[in-house]
Amino acid sequence: MDDAQDELQANPLDEEIASLKDQGKSSITVSASLAHLRKTLKIECSTVLSSPSIQEALLSSLNPQPTPKSAALRPRKPRKSIGRDEQLLLTRCKQQEAYNQQCLYRISASVTAFKVRDPDPNAVDGGHVLGLRFEVMTRGQFLQPYYVMLNRPYPNNRKFLRIHRHTVPPAIPLQGLAARHLPAPKQQAGDDNPPPPPKQDLERFVKSLRREIMRYHNRLGVSADLRRSLGAHSQTAADGPSLPPNAIVDVSIADPEAKQIRLTWADERNGRLVMDDDGRVVKFMVFGAEGRDWETTRQLKEGQGRVEDIAKMLEEYAAG
């Protein structure tokens, strides 16, 4: 009797839990749709306000030109007062123009230098620091810029620079580039004929560092493009039993330098793509439960070289 009563009480609870789960899924879907609509509206508004013809028409309508001398004797029309909406639109137009100019500067000058002052009273060289800012863009959007701070800590060699602080990710060989292009002066004590000091090349250091930063982000973009093309982002663990064994359920980065991409199939096989510095695929391997899967590796090895070919080969392999 008690078991039957507990079952009757459990059924409404289960239904309520299922209803709450459905509401949660629907609310997530609605939130995602609203976020997408807001983003689309923002893009369309910025596109309209960025048009030169729209800006000219808006400024001419809200700020009419003064009356020419030839029409000075004509009766003047009363000037239209600018309302709150018109003033807000004019402000947004000016903000968009300033933003477009800022983006143009960031695109044209991807590396900029500036001077800062270290507030530490015991800082070397009186706190004088040379800052370098590296701009990065991916998929039409600017990312957080990277900064490298340089100072001059050598009293006897005022022209030599050294890395003071930086925000560059660990995957980029910053110290190796600094050792190659910004070598420290050699200390030769008690030598009457010391060798000439090494030369520092700040320009080559900046170019090499920017190239490594762009290579790193290009490799990240390659893995993201492969993930999108294979549709692994839309497959979850709950869909695993219904997926074919050759379907890819996960694509992820396997190392800090983003040179290796890990692939996971629905039948728990794992694959590994190895890329070079420029994002070209140089090796492809597949591992199963019993070790190296030579047959699958041989089937998919023909697409080696370009990520697009690899993705197409994997799609054909998943389809059968």
8 Å CB contact between 281 and 275: yes
What is the rounded CA–CA span in Å between residue 60 and residue 52? 12
Residues 6 or more apart whose CB falls under 8 angstroms from that of 190 comprise none
pLDDT attached to residue 173: 92
Quick check: helix, strand or coil at residue 1? coil
pLDDT attached to residue 8: 45
Top pLDDT among 197 and 73 is at: 197
The region, left, alpha or beta by phi > 0 then psi within -120 to 50, assigned to residue 69 is alpha
Mean pLDDT across 230-246? 59
The whole-angstrom distance between residue 44's C-alpha and the CA centroid of its chain comes to 22
pLDDT attached to residue 240: 46
pLDDT attached to residue 237: 45
12-42 tens-digit pLDDT: 666 766 776 666 656 666 676 777 777 777 7
178-214 tens-digit pLDDT: 999 999 887 665 555 666 767 889 999 999 999 999 9
What is the rounded CA–CA span in Å between residue 270 and residue 297? 11
8 Å CB contact between 188 and 198: no
What is the rounded CA–CA span in Å between residue 179 and residue 173? 10
108-124 tens-digit pLDDT: 888 999 999 988 888 88
pLDDT attached to residue 253: 87
Give the percent of the chain with pLDDT over 70: 73
Mean pLDDT across 296-316? 71
8 Å CB contact between 108 and 130: no
**Which of 79-88, 117-126, 291-300 has the weakest average pLDDT?**
79-88
DSSP string, 78-119: PPPPP-HHHHHHHHHHHHHHHHHHHHHHHHH-SEEEEEEE--
Token reading at 83: 């309302």
8 Å CB contact between 263 and 271: yes
Mean pLDDT, the chain, integer: 77
Q: 């700040």: which residue's tokens?
A: 202
What is the topology classification, in CATH, of domain 108-184+200-217? Copper Amine Oxidase; Chain A, domain 1 (3.30.457)
52-69 tens-digit pLDDT: 777 777 767 666 555 555
What is the rounded CA–CA span in Å between residue 76 and residue 61? 16
- Is the confidence at residue 130, as pLDDT, over 70? yes
**Which of 189-203, 209-223, 254-268 has the weakest average pLDDT?**
189-203
pLDDT attached to residue 147: 96
